[in-house]
Amino acid sequence: MLTSLAFYQVDAFANEPFAGNAAAVCIGESDLPESVMQQVAMETNLPITCFVQRAGSGFTLRWFTPSVEIRLCGHGTLAAAHILYEKQMLKPDQQAVFATKGGSLTATRNQGWNRINFPRFSLSEITLPEGLASALGISVVQALQASDGRYIIVVATESELRAIQPDFDRLKHFESVAVTCRGATGSRYDFLSRSFAPSHGVNEDAVTGSSHCALAPYW
């Protein structure tokens, strides 16, 4: 039996078209097999494909990269909330409540802007697994691991951060990693970061909201 899905594509974390981080948002009224959701995500071939379904007064939300399902996605959540408000499935003064594998998440709208509420990850200083730093080609100032398993690696300068050219074939054998540095004196940014997740089917993510569950507390 064919299942009807409303399908949207959203550029999240952007103030102009064709920028930010792209997400597909699929809204349906019935459950899809996990294998079908993964196939849809493979076909859309975007960094994330979201599947949203109404559940009581809230919604279920699942996120798939082209190769795996993940437990938490910032830009996918923002994109899903945007569609629910834009298509008037929620009124502007209503809170969006999402049941996800990463826990209960919420979104609110204020004057056309959407705000998402995400968890705070704890961090532990570690010694990196052998080969991870060399796969990134960096000199490590500090290495940490977040409570969700991802690595947070601090480098000294913005120029070093921007120059990273990872060996993705080697990097795919490790958990996802965010490399970060403090913003330079006089910069408009407090800190900068790049996120790599070839083990999850995304070599480099344009903007990674879930990494900021660790980066924001760290900085």
For the ranges 5-19, 32-46, 61-75, 144-158, the lowest mean pLDDT is seen at 5-19
The predicted model gives 133-142 an average pLDDT of 97
The predicted model gives 11-40 an average pLDDT of 92
Answer whether residue 129 shows pLDDT above 90.
Answer: yes
Answer whether residue 16 shows pLDDT above 90.
Answer: no
- Take residue 169 and report the two structure tokens written for it: 């074939």
The predicted model gives 127-146 an average pLDDT of 97
| Residue 17 pLDDT | 85
The predicted model gives 30-55 an average pLDDT of 94
| Residue 14 pLDDT | 87
Answer whether residue 15 shows pLDDT above 60.
Answer: yes
Instruction: Name which of 5, 61, 50 is nearest 30 in CA terms.
Output: 5
Answer whether residue 88 shows pLDDT above 60.
Answer: yes
> Which residues lie closer than 8 Å to 107 by C-beta, 6 or more apart?
77, 78, 80, 81, 95, 96, 98, 114, 115, 116, 117
HEC letters along the chain? CCCCCEEEEEEECCCCCCCCEEEEEEEECCCCCHHHHHHHHHHHCCCEEEEEEEECCEEEEEEECCCCEECCCHHHHHHHHHHHHHCCCCCCCCCEEEEECCEEEEEEEECCEEEEECCCCCEEECCCCCCHHHHHCCCCCEEEEECCCCEEEECCCHHHHHHCCCCHHHHCCCCCEEEEEECCCCCCCCEEEEEEEHHHCEEEECCCCCCHHHHHHHC
| Position 210, amino acid | S
| Residue 2 pLDDT | 56
List, for residues 152-201, the tens digit of each pLDDT value. Answer: 999 999 999 999 999 999 999 999 999 999 998 888 999 999 999 999 99
